[in-house]
Structure 1
Amino acid sequence: MNTRTETDFTPIDPALYAKAFQLLDPAPEPIDPAAPAALTPVPFTLPAPPVRQTGPVEKTLTDALAFLDTNGWAKGTLISPEGARCSIGALRAAAGARNGAYCDAGNLLLDEARQQHGKQWESIPLWNDRHSGAQVRSVWEAAIRRAHHMNI
């Protein structure tokens, strides 16, 4: 093992450094080495955490599930005489129009239905009509969680 102990540092000129510091601060205040250092507290506040905006797909799914909770869930019909709706009817009511959020929310809901209940489901109404309210709600909740995690 070869450890080198010589250094190639250039020796400093203390007078040169003193002159440089004097030019930077021509009238320094004398420091009493016996006095305790006076620390001035610096106010510090943590920045507020960023506010997460709910994405349009998550909002559509959440609003549709709230609509089902409020007005009821239906099978075999888009809207029952009492005002309950099937899953696709709730999506339409929540979206207000067949816009991008409506389409994306429907695709996400159907994908989640296929993950939980098999790949054979071709549409939301077919899946909705062949399952119980608890099974349908489970799919809605999972789709909302996915939209939240995807930030859509």
Structure 2
Amino acid sequence: MNTNTTVSGFTPVEHDLYAQAFRLLDPAPTPAPGAAAPPPAVAPAAPVLQTVLPTGAVERTLADGLRFLDTHGWVQRSLIHPGGARCSIGALRAAAGARTPAYQDAGNLLLDEARRQHGKQWTALPSWNDSHTRGQVRSVWEAAIRRAHRMNI
């Protein structure tokens, strides 16, 4: 199948989706005359319920950003420190790779959580990041990741 999946906004749910659908729709092959009968069909196993929701793009971006801060370090008053440490925005940009919708939503969720924990006066991540300790910043990141997971985004 040669379906164009490079269309903007297209996100494949499952790579094998079409192949599975066609296998289900194709009639069972008829045996050739004189051939042995096929074995009896086996009932499919009951579906297994997933207990953990799949990670969404926003949750993944936030988790990758926090991992970046843990690995390379956190900094205030600078997007990127010469030693590689970054502020919260720098870590988000490193995690997302580009200003994608997931990057924007992760930033909005992070700012919303910062406002929940530290007051409504914060209107931008850089000023909030520069005014708080490493522990306070980490607490907001962790809470934002949990919220993204609960929201399945």
Name the CA distance, whole Å, in 1 between partners of 2:109 and 2:44.
44
Cα offsets for 1:95-131 (capped at 9, x unmatched): 0000100000000000000000000111000000000
Secondary structure of the residue aligned to 2:132 is: coil
Cα offsets for 1:48-75 (capped at 9, x unmatched): 2226321000000000000000000000
Residue 17 of structure 2 corresponds to none
Residue 79 of structure 2 corresponds to 78
Name the CA distance, whole Å, in 2 between partners of 1:55 and 1:145.
12
Residue 38 of structure 2 corresponds to none
Residue 97 of structure 2 corresponds to 96
Name the CA distance, whole Å, in 1 between partners of 2:53 and 2:117.
28
TM-score, normalisation: structure 2:
0.68
Mark the runs of 5 or more structure 1 residues left unpaired by the alignment: 1-42
Secondary structure of the residue aligned to 2:123 is: coil
Name the CA distance, whole Å, in 2 between partners of 1:52 and 1:132.
32
Q: Which has the larger radius of gyration?
A: 1
| Residue identity in the other structure for 2:92 | L
Residue 4 of structure 2 corresponds to none
Residue 48 of structure 1 corresponds to 48
TM-score, normalisation: structure 1:
0.69
Residue 146 of structure 2 corresponds to 145
Name the CA distance, whole Å, in 2 between partners of 1:102 and 1:85.
16
Alpha-carbon offset, residue 46 of structure 1: 5.6
| Residue identity in the other structure for 2:90 | G
Secondary structure of the residue aligned to 1:120 is: coil
Cα offsets for 1:24-53 (capped at 9, x unmatched): xxxxxxxxxxxxxxxxxxx99663222632
Name the CA distance, whole Å, in 2 between partners of 1:69 and 1:78.
16
Alpha-carbon offset, residue 94 of structure 1: 0.3
Percent of aligned pairs sharing the same letter? 69
Residue 68 of structure 1 corresponds to 69
Name the CA distance, whole Å, in 2 between partners of 1:111 and 1:88.
14
